[in-house]
Amino acid sequence: MSVQAPEREVRPVRSGRTVRIGPVSASLRWRDVVVPSVAFAALALVSAVSMGRGDFPIGVVDVLRTLVGLGEGPQEFIVLELRAPRVIVGVLVGLAFGVAGALFQTFARNPLASPDTLGITAGASAGAVAAIVLTGGTSTGAILGGLGIPLAALLGALAAGLLLFLLAWRAGIDGYRLVLVGIALWAVGNALIDFLLTRAEIYDASSAYVWITGSLNSRTWDHAVPLAIALAVLLPLSLALNRVLAVMQFGDDTARGLGVRLAGAQTAVVLLAVGLVAFAVSAAGPIAFVSLIVPQIAVRLTGGSRPPLLASGLVGALLVVGADLVTRTVLPEALPVGILTAAIGAPYLLWLLVRGRRQFT
Amino acid sequence: MTTPIELEPRSAATARVRLAAEGVRLAYDERVVVDGLDLQLTEGSFTAIVGPNGCGKSTLLRALGRLLRPTAGQVLLDGQAIAKTPTREVAKVLGLLPQTPVAPEGLTVGDLVARGRHPHQSWLRQWSRDDEAVVAEALAWTDMTELADRPVDALSGGQRQRAWISMALAQGTDLLLLDEPTTYLDLSHQIDVLELVGRLHAERGRTVVVVLHDLNLAARYAHRLVAMKDGALVASGTPDEVLTEQLLADVFDLEARVIPDPVAGTPMVVPVRRLR
């Protein structure tokens, strides 16, 4: 009954290399290791350079000395209090947007899914703009202590995410339905923003507009710390979903046939992605496009079958911090970072699309 | 909990019932598709479900595979209510191949087949020696070893279906449900796929349930036919018992002659005209 045993396989079965240490085993593709490593190294370098640039230039070596506690006097104050929070918020926001985008796109099996197109950042913006316009964010902003706007944005994002989840849920979530519901929410959020802006004082409208574009200007540890705590919880949970996502990218029936509890897995993916976006947006505004394009850039760099979570996060961080550095140094005028992420990221994605044979995903 | 890693299901002394539907009612929203249906599938059987379009045969298969929860009645897997069995435990015993499954762009055949090991893996143990041996064997058995590093989307329709069957083999389940595995394939590839499924049954002892449109192929490859009409089971038995001129008229509204297949000796349908 048994067919002849096949020759001992010399030829590798999988596209990755097998790694086995004790009870731990995995198949790793080298590009899934190299791309995040390179992105991490580049991120560290750009971050250090960024902390050194400004009205009072500091060399990379001195920045690193200061970061490990060997700095002195004004240098220490400038790096640790003025510049580090801005760069760290940039890193964390980029990580959150990149991972959230990869989660949404794998889940929806649709490269158009992102917090932008799904209306979550629109919800956050509507919350923040409401806080700025209705309380007079520029004049009485001090009363809110910089906490009111992030909090309003967080609530706006969570409300939009909850609506998205409830409206898209129908004995599980269908990717197309999710995107369609998201686009409707995006339209509602933007209508609300426009309504608020037309009724706003000119100063409020102007500061609201900067917020909507997404900016790292005057970020302090008050922005960085809550975001860091949130990511310390949400990022490991997201990465733990990697194995399930690898099966969820098939159709629903195949995934369930392979033993995935689909409803639970879908709920976890959407809640984690919404949470990541909500905290990131509340810290820096909806930095345009990062979540949409970064997973697509990352998947073209790693060459896998779906947006890689870790690489997407690191490429996202690199894009945000790099764009922020450019706005502060190369350009004659300090622009909000959101303008640059779109201006750099979108052409790069187009270039990858033109030269690649991959159609989408 | 030990995980069975061998591909060969244990042989049963007697033909015990592995999968059964008991008075199931199946509905999408308010629309009832199947009502009060009973069906028993025994160890080592090869069953084909046939019937006209919209008769509920795919719906029944989805319920048997735990993809659709009955609104009344229940499905039993080895005597246990399948709805109450954890998904992962079901996935170690019962594999299913949906109609026209979609593989993500860029996924290689080897990685696709490796996904079949998902129910046997854990977060730490993602690619054990057992997994590797089973996947290599499944690829070899389905003649896909040479194509292991090719992207699934670059394969022809017939090769693609072989890859999916290879994945189902790697999953190592005793039971295998296939929903119209020959859809969109030309005749020679239909034969190729059904030969492969037949070998899974004959050589690997798999209990197979397959939804098929082509009656002649169903009669040739399956040992038992189940005919459905309007959500009810109207006939069940050997191909000779089920494929009669009367049944074709009743179930398919088809006037036809049934003659012995000159190659296999199984009943063969020669259509005359549509009735009514």
The first and second tokens of residue A249, run together, are 């990218």
Q: What are the Cα distances from residue A97, in Å, to A30, A299, A317, A324?
A: 24, 15, 8, 15
DSSP B73: E
Residue B135 touches partner A, C-beta closer than 8 Å: yes
The first and second tokens of residue A311, run together, are 């690489």
B16, with CB counted inside 10 A (0-12, 13-18, 19+), is exposed
The first and second tokens of residue A10, run together, are 């010399």
Do A260 and B118 make contact, defined as CB atoms within 8 angstroms?
yes
Residue type for B154, please?
A
* Strand B94-97 to B80-81 pairing: unpaired
Q: Chain B partners of A26 at a C-beta cutoff of 8 Å?
A: 126-127
Q: Where are the alpha helices (DSSP H) in chain B?
A: 57-64, 87-93, 109-115, 129-141, 157-170, 187-204, 215-221, 239-242, 245-252
pLDDT score of B2? 42
The first and second tokens of residue B252, run together, are 């398919």
Q: What is the mean pLDDT of chain B?
A: 91
State the smallest CA–CA distance between residue A114 and chain B in angstroms: 19
The ranges assigned to domains in chain A are: 40-360
State the smallest CA–CA distance between residue B189 and chain A in angstroms: 22
Q: How far from chain centre, in Å, is Cα A347?
A: 19
* Dihedral angle computed from the Cα positions of residues A331, A332, A335 and A340, in that order, rounded to the nearest 10 degrees: -20
Q: How many A/B residue pairs have CB atoms within 8 Å?
A: 133
Convert the pLDDT of each residue in A170-193 to its tens digit: 877 888 888 899 999 999 999 999
pLDDT score of A136? 60
Phi and psi torsions of A318, nearest 5°: -60, -40
- Rounded CA-CA distance A1/B8 in Å is 10
Convert the pLDDT of each residue in A3-45 to its tens digit: 454 445 456 788 888 888 888 888 888 999 999 999 999 999 9
pLDDT score of A1? 43
pLDDT score of A74? 85
- Kindly give, in sequence order, each residue whose CB lies less than 8 Å from that of residue B52, ignoring residues fewer than 6 positions away: B229, B251, B252, B253
- Rounded CA-CA distance A157/A115 in Å is 9
pLDDT score of B10? 43
- Report which of A273, A262, A274 is spatially closest to residue A172, judged by C-alpha positions: A262
Find out whether A317 and A97 touch, Cβ atoms under 8 Å: no
Q: How far from chain centre, in Å, is Cα B103?
A: 19
> Is the pLDDT score of B217 beyond 60?
yes
- Kindly give, in sequence order, each residue whose CB lies less than 8 Å from that of residue B124, ignoring residues fewer than 6 positions away: A23, A24, A25
Convert the pLDDT of each residue in A99-156 to its tens digit: 999 999 998 888 888 898 899 999 999 998 988 888 764 544 444 545 688 889 999 9
- Report which of A11, A63, A125, A105 is spatially closest to residue A299, judged by C-alpha positions: A105
A45 against B14, higher pLDDT? A45
Report ipTM (2 d.p.).
Answer: 0.88
- Report which of A344, A76, A330, A335 is spatially closest to residue A217, judged by C-alpha positions: A335
Top residue of B93, B122, B130, B132 to mutate, by most chain A CBs within 10 Å, is B132
- Rounded CA-CA distance B138/B97 in Å is 15
Residue B88 touches partner A, C-beta closer than 8 Å: yes
* Residue whose entry in the numeric block shows the structure tokens 């001992």: A8
- Kindly give, in sequence order, each residue whose CB lies less than 8 Å from that of residue A321, ignoring residues fewer than 6 positions away: A43, A46, A47, A50, A87, A90, A91, A94
Give the relative orientation of helices A84-108 and A262-284 as an angle to the nearest 10 degrees: 150
Do B96 and A359 make contact, defined as CB atoms within 8 angstroms?
no
Closest-CA residue of chain A to B132: A13
* Strand B224-229 to B72-77 pairing: unpaired
Listed in order, strand segments (DSSP E) in A152-274 are: none
Q: What are the Cα distances from residue A86, in Å, to A92, A310, B102?
A: 10, 22, 44
Own/partner contacts of B140-146, CB < 8 Å, gap of 24 or more, are B140/A6, B140/A9, B141/A3, B141/A6, B141/B166, B141/B169, B142/B166, B142/B169, B142/B196, B144/B109, B144/B113, B145/A6, B145/A9, B145/A11
Q: What are the Cα distances from residue A108, in Å, to A27, A114, A145?
A: 25, 10, 38
Q: Chain B partners of A27 at a C-beta cutoff of 8 Å?
A: 114, 126-127
Q: Chain B partners of A15 at a C-beta cutoff of 8 Å?
A: 108, 110-111, 149
- Rounded CA-CA distance B5/B7 in Å is 6
Q: What is the mean pLDDT of chain A?
A: 87
pTM to 2 decimal places:
0.89
Largest CA distance in chain A: 84
Q: Chain A partners of B125 at a C-beta cutoff of 8 Å?
A: 23-25
- Sequence length of chain B is 276
Convert the pLDDT of each residue in B223-266 to its tens digit: 999 999 999 999 999 999 999 999 999 999 999 999 999 999 99
- Kindly give, in sequence order, each residue whose CB lies less than 8 Å from that of residue A270, ignoring residues fewer than 6 positions away: A107, A161, A164, A165, A173
Query: Among A193-197, A305-309, A355-359, which is the least confidently predicted range?
Result: A355-359
Neighbouring C-beta atoms of residue A174, cutoff 10 Å? 17
B157, with CB counted inside 10 A (0-12, 13-18, 19+), is middle
Residue B9 touches partner A, C-beta closer than 8 Å: no
Q: Which CATH class is domain A40-360?
A: mainly alpha
Do A251 and B96 make contact, defined as CB atoms within 8 angstroms?
no
